[in-house]
C-alpha cells in the first residue's frame, strides 16, 4: 500500500538539513525506526530486523533520504516492509517541511490495512522531533 505523511519543522531548511545530515551519520535514525515500528506493530508481528538509509542526496532547496525497513519472514529471509523517501524542503524563512512517501508491504498473512499508518506516522513524527531537538552544534 502507498503511504505518505508530512510534518512541519519550526527550524529553517538549512538548520534542518544540517541536523538531518548529522543524524544520518549516527545510529539515531536506526533507533527511531525500531522504536516507531515496535510501537505501531500488531501483536505477533516480527520485530524490525534492519533499517537501512541511503546517502542523503541534496540539491538546492531539497534533500532526500531513502529508507528501507526489513523484518524476517518465516524462513528467516529479509522481508522489506517499507521502502520510502524522506524529503526535506523549505517552507518559509524559519520553517521546513519533512515528507514521507513510499510503499508499505504487509507481512505475509497480514492484511496491512490500518497497520501502516501507526508505525509510519510515528516514524515521521519521531524523525521530526529528533531534528527539531537536535543539538544546535549539529547545525
pLDDT tens digits for range 75-106: 778 889 899 999 999 999 999 999 999 998 87
Pairwise CA distance, residues 117 & 40, whole Å: 8
pTM of the model: 0.85
Dihedral of CA 61/125/5/38: which sign? positive
Q: Is 65 strand, coil or helix?
A: strand
Work out the average pLDDT over 46-65.
Answer: 92
Pairwise CA distance, residues 122 & 139, whole Å: 24
Contact 104, 80 (CB under 8 A): no
- Whether 111 shows a pLDDT value over 70: the answer reads no
- Whether 123 shows a pLDDT value over 90: the answer reads no
Residue pointed to by grid coordinates 512517501? 101
Domains, the chain, in order of start with CATH, read 2-138 (3.30.530.20)
Nearest Cα to Cα of residue 46 among 27, 70, 82: 70
How would you classify residue 49: left for phi > 0, otherwise alpha for psi between -120 and 50, otherwise beta?
Answer: alpha
Residue 138 pLDDT class (50, 70, 90 cuts): very low
Q: Is 56 strand, coil or helix?
A: coil
Amino acid at each position: 500500500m502507498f503511504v505518505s505523511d508530512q510534518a512541519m519543522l519550526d527550524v529553517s531548511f538549512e538548520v534542518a538539513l544540517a541536523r538531518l545530515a548529522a543524524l544520518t551519520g549516527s545510529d539515531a535514525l536506526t533507533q527511531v525506526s525500531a522504536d516507531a515500528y515496535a510501537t505501531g506493530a500488531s501483536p505477533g508481528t516480527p520485530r524490525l530486523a534492519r533499517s537501512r538509509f541511503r546517502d542523503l542526496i541534496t540539491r538546492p532547496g531539497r534533500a532526500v533520504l531513502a529508507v528501507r525497513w526489513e523484518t524476517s519472514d518465516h524462513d528467516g529471509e529479509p522481508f522489506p516492509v517499507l521502502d520510502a523517501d524522506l524529503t526535506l524542503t523549505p517552507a518559509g524563512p524559519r520553517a521546513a517541511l519533512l515528507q514521507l512517501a513510499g510503499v508499505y508491504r504487509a507481512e505475509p498473512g497480514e492484511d496491512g490495512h490500518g497497520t501502516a499508518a501507526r508505525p509510519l506516522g510515528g516514524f515521521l513524527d519521531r524523525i521530526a522531533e529528533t531534528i527539531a531537538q537536535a543539538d544546535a552544534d549539529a547545525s
